[in-house]
C-alpha cells in the first residue's frame, strides 16, 4: 500500500525503519517522498513523471535538509524537467523491467535474508511453478488487473488455498515495484482472495476412541505401519502441525516438553501430556539417528511427507472427509470446551496471531447453551418455592 502524509521535519524523525525499504510520499508537494531504509537512513526522493519513463531523483539525506528546502528543490527539478521536455520533445522511453528480471534482482536479492529457510523454499516454489510462467516475460507496467484475475481464477480452480498464497506474494512484489516507481498502481490490489472454509470439523470423544481403535487394528494387521500410527497419535496428543512431528529431532525432546527449533512461526515450546510422553518414549528402543521418526529407506532423513496410513485409518474409523490437520483442530476445540482461555490455547498451538485462535471460540457454544439451561432450571426451582 502506498503511504502518504504531509511531511514535516518532526514527522520524518518519527518514521520507523521496517523489515524492508519503504517510501512515504508528501501530500503537499506531489512527487516528493522520503525513502526509509531498514538500517534507519532517510533520504528525500523526487518522482518525476513525463511523456517518457518515470524517473526517481535522490535529493540527499533527510537529516541534512529541511522539508521546506526539499519541496523547493523538488519544484525546481520538476520545472526543469518540463522545460527540457518542451524544448527537446519527450525523452526516449525506458521500458519497465520484466517481471522475471525484477523478481531476480532487486526484489529477491533484497528479501532473501529476511526469510526462514522454509519460507524461502515456499516462495521459490510459488515463483517457479505459478508466477514466473504467467508473468515472467511481461514488463511490470504491462501486467493488468484482468491478467491477474484470469491467472488467479485458473489457480483457484485446482488449489484455492495456494492461490491465496500466490496472490499475496504477487501483491508484495508489485507493491515493491510501485515503491520503486516502475508502476503507478498495484494490478493485484483489487483481486479478492478465496474465502477460507469455516472451521466446523473436529472429532468428538467417541470419534477419538474409534480413531485409536482403528490405529491399533491397522498396526496389528501390518506392524510396519507402527511409525506412521505413532505420528498420528502424537498429533492427537499435542495439536502440533504434521511437519513439526514428522521432522522432530531427538535434540528437540527435552523431558516434559519439545523445544522446536523451527516451527511455522519460529522456535516454540510444546508441553507434553503423559500420553504424548509415552508415545515418544516408545521410539527410543531399537532406533538410531537424529530423528525421532526416521525414514526406513533413506538413512539420516525423516519419514517422508505423505502419511499413507491416514486414508485407511480414517475409513476404518468411519471418519469420511476428516483431514489429518483436523486433529490439530480437535486438540484446540477440546481445550476450549474444557474452559481453557483462548490466550492459553494460542500458546499451546503456537499461533502468531490471536485472531487465528478465535476460530475455535464457537465450539464452546453448546456448553454455554447447557450452562444457560442449568441456570434457568435453578431459577425456576427458586421461583416455585419449596414443595
Quote the pLDDT of residue 362. Answer: 59
Confidence of residue 372 (pLDDT cuts 50, 70, 90): low
Q: Which helix (H) or strand (E) holds 44?
A: strand 42-48
Using DSSP, how many helices (H) and how many strands (E) does the chain show?
A: 17, 8
Does one domain contain both 152 and 249?
Answer: no
Question: Is residue 167 in a domain?
Answer: yes
* 61 in a structural domain: yes
Pair type for strands 257-263 and 253-254 = antiparallel
Q: What is the DSSP string of 241-259?
A: -HHHHHT-BGGGEETTEEE
Residue that has been written with the C-alpha cell 524461502 in this structure: 120
Residues 6+ positions from 186 with CB-CB distance below 8 Å: 171, 174, 175, 177, 178
CA–CA distance, 91 with 53 (Å, rounded to integer): 8
Q: Which of 187-201, 219-233, 309-323 has the lowest mean pLDDT?
A: 187-201
- Position 15 pLDDT exceeds 80: yes
Beta-strand relationship, 3-5 and 22-26: parallel
Residue 350 CB: number of other CB atoms within 10 A?
Answer: 20
Last residue of a domain, one of 138, 161, 179: 179
234/360 same-domain check: yes
Q: What residues are paired with 5 via a beta bridge? A: 26
pLDDT at 56: 76
Mean pLDDT of 244-254: 91
Based on the fold, state whether residues 281 and 149 are members of the same structural domain: no
End-to-end CA distance of the chain: 70
pLDDT category, 29, cuts 50, 70, 90? confident
**Are residues 210 and 357 located together in one domain of the fold?**
yes
Predicted confidence (pLDDT) per residue in 88-113, tens digit: 444 444 577 889 988 987 788 777 67
pLDDT digit string, tens, across residues 293-349: 998 888 888 887 668 899 999 999 999 888 888 898 888 888 877 877 777 777 888
Structure-model confidence comparison of residues 382 and 163, the more confident one = 163
Q: In terms of domains, do 67 and 115 share one?
A: no
Task: Answer whether residue 195 is part of any domain.
Answer: no
Q: Is residue 190 part of a domain?
A: no
pTM, rounded to two decimals: 0.55
Indicate if 75 and 144 belong to the same structural domain: no
* Whether the predicted pLDDT of 213 surpasses 80: yes
Single out the residue in 50, 69, 88 at which a domain terminates: 88
Residue 317: closest CA among 328, 307, 309: 309
200 in any annotated domain: no
Query: Do 270 and 341 fall within a single domain?
Result: yes
CA separation for the pair 195, 247 (Å, rounded)? 30
Whether 12 and 45 share a structural domain: yes
Say whether pLDDT at 168 is over 90. yes
Q: Whole-angstrom Cα distance, residue 9 to residue 34?
A: 11
pLDDT digits (tens, 9 = 90+) for 112-157: 677 777 788 889 999 999 999 999 988 998 999 999 999 999 999 9
In percent, the amount of the chain with pLDDT more than 70 equals 83
Whichever domain contains 325, its CATH number is 1.10.443.10
Same structural domain, 150 and 103: yes
- Residues 54 and 164 placed together within one structural domain of the fold: no
The answer as to whether 189 is a domain residue is: no
The answer to whether position 295 is within a domain reads yes
What range does the domain containing 75 cover? Answer: 3-88
Q: How many CA atoms lie within 13 A of 349 on its CB side?
A: 28
* Cβ neighbours of residue 344 closer than 8 Å, sequence gap 6 or more: 335
Is residue 35 located within the same domain as residue 63? yes
Residue 383 lies in a domain: no
CA distances from 80 to 28, 50, 77, 90 (A): 19, 12, 5, 13
What is the residue whose three cell numbers read 483431514? 323
Number of domains in the chain: 3
What is the CB-side half-sphere exposure of residue 335 using CA atoms within 13 A? Answer: 25
What CATH number corresponds to the domain at position 21?
3.30.160.390
Point out the domain boundary residue: 40, 64, 88: 88
Same domain, 358 and 243: yes
| Mean pLDDT rounded to a whole number for the chain | 83
Amino acid at each position: 500500500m502506498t503511504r502518504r502524509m504531509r511531511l514535516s521535519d518532526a514527522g520524518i524523525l518519527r518514521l520507523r525503519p521496517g523489515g524492508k525499504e519503504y517510501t512515504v510520499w508528501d501530500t503537499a508537494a506531489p512527487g516528493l517522498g522520503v525513502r526509509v531504509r531498514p538500517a534507519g537512513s532517510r533520504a528525500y526522493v523526487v518522482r518525476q513523471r513525463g511523456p517518457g519513463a518515470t524517473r526517481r531523483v535522490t535529493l540527499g539525506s533527510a537529516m541534512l535538509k529541511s522539508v521546506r528546502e526539499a519541496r523547493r528543490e523538488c519544484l525546481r527539478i520538476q520545472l526543469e524537467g518540463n522545460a527540457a521536455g518542451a524544448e527537446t520533445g519527450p525523452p526516449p522511453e525506458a521500458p519497465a523491467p520484466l517481471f522475471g528480471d525484477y523478481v531476480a534482482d532487486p526484489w529477491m536479492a533484497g528479501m532473501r535474508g529476511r526469510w526462514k529457510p522454509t519460507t524461502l523454499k515456499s516462495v521459490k516454489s510459488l515463483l517457479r511453478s505459478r508466477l514466473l510462467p504467467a508473468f515472467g516475460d511481461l514488463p511490470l507496467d504491462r501486467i493488468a488487473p484482468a491478467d491477474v484475475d484470469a491467472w488467479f481464477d485458473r489457480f483457484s480452480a485446482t488449489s484455492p488455498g495456494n492461490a491465496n498464497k500466490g496472490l499475496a506474494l504477487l501483491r508484495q512484489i508489485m507493491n515493491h515495484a510501485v515503491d520503486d516507481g516502475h508502476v503507478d498502481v498495484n494490478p493485484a490490489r483489487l483481486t479478492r482472495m478465496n474465502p477460507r472454509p469455516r472451521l466446523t470439523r473436529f472429532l468428538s470423544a467417541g470419534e477419538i476412541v474409534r480413531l485409536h481403535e482403528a490405529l491399533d487394528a491397522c498396526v496389528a494387521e501390518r506392524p510396519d505401519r507402527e511409525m506412521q500410527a505413532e505420528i498420528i497419535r502424537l498429533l492427537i496428543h499435542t495439536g502440533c502441525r504434521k511437519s513439526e512431528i514428522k521432522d522432530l529431532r531427538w535434540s528437540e525432546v527435552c523431558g516434559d516438553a519439545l523445544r522446536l527449533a523451527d516451527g511455522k512461526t519460529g522456535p516454540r515450546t510444546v508441553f507434553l501430556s503423559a500420553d504424548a510422553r509415552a508415545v515418544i518414549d516408545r521410539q527410543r528402543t531399537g532406533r538410531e539417528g537424529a530423528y525421532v521418526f526416521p525414514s526406513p529407506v533413506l538413512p539420516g532423513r525423516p519419514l517422508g511427507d505423505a502419511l499413507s496410513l491416514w486414508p485407511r485409518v480414517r475409513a476404518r474409523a468411519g471418519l469420511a472427509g476428516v483431514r489429518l490437520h483436523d486433529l490439530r483442530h480437535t486438540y484446540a476445540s477440546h481445550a476450549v470446551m474444557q474452559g481453557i482461555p483462548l490466550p492459553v490455547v494460542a500458546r499451546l498451538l503456537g499461533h502468531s496471531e490471536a485472531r487465528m485462535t478465535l476460530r475455535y471460540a464457537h465450539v464452546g457454544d453448546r456448553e454455554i447453551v447447557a450452562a444457560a439451561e442449568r441456570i434457568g432450571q435453578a431459577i425456576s426451582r427458586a421461583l416455585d418455592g419449596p414443595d
